[in-house]
Amino acid sequence: NAGVTQTPKFQVLKTGQSMTLQCAQDMNHEYMSWYRQDPGMGLRLIHYSVGAGITDQGEVPNGYNVSRSTTEDFPLRLLSAAPSQTSVYFCASRVGGPMAEQFFGPGTRLTVL
């Protein structure tokens, strides 16, 4: 199993550009989520999904969109990139409810100029 994979590993955008961060998992996990990690602030939940076709907002959803058309994939879209979105983005998945172990992807380092 590849586990949780993310692409790209690094990305540089200009303010106003849009892009999609890809996340995939091959563990048949129902729950997937996106976090951003900023220095001194830990990880903050952006959006999450409890299954295909179901998404919900986390702590910091503004400026991001998600969709979940399949169990395996959970892309994160930046609609109009801003310098405040410069961060490391982690995708994660778990098999079921909130007490299941969460597995993280390798991360995407995004810089917005």
Partner 1 sequence: GENVEQHPSTLSVQEGDSAVIKCTYSDSASNYFPWYKQELGKRPQLIIDIRSNVGEKKDQRIAVTLNKTAKHFSLHITETQPEDSAVYFCAATLLNNDMRFGAGTRLTVKP
Where does this chain bind partner 1 (CB under 8 A)? 31, 33, 35, 40-45, 48, 50, 56, 58-59, 90, 97-99, 101-102, 104-107
Residue with tokens 């503004």, as numbered in its chain: 62
Q: Say which residues have a Cβ less than 8 Å from residue 98's Cβ, sequence separation at least 6.
A: none
- Beta carbons within 10 angstroms of residue 41's beta carbon: 10
* Nearest residue (CB) to partner 1, 19 versus 50: 50
In the complex, what is the shortest distance from the CB of residue 96 to partner 1, in angstroms, rounded to a whole number?
11
* Nearest residue (CB) to partner 1, 57 versus 69: 57
Burial of 87 per CB tally in 10 Å (0-12, 13-18, 19+): buried
* Nearest residue (CB) to partner 1, 2 versus 98: 98
* Nearest residue (CB) to partner 1, 17 versus 104: 104
In one-letter notation, the amino acid at residue 37 is: Q
In the complex, what is the shortest distance from the CB of residue 31 to partner 1, in angstroms, rounded to a whole number?
7
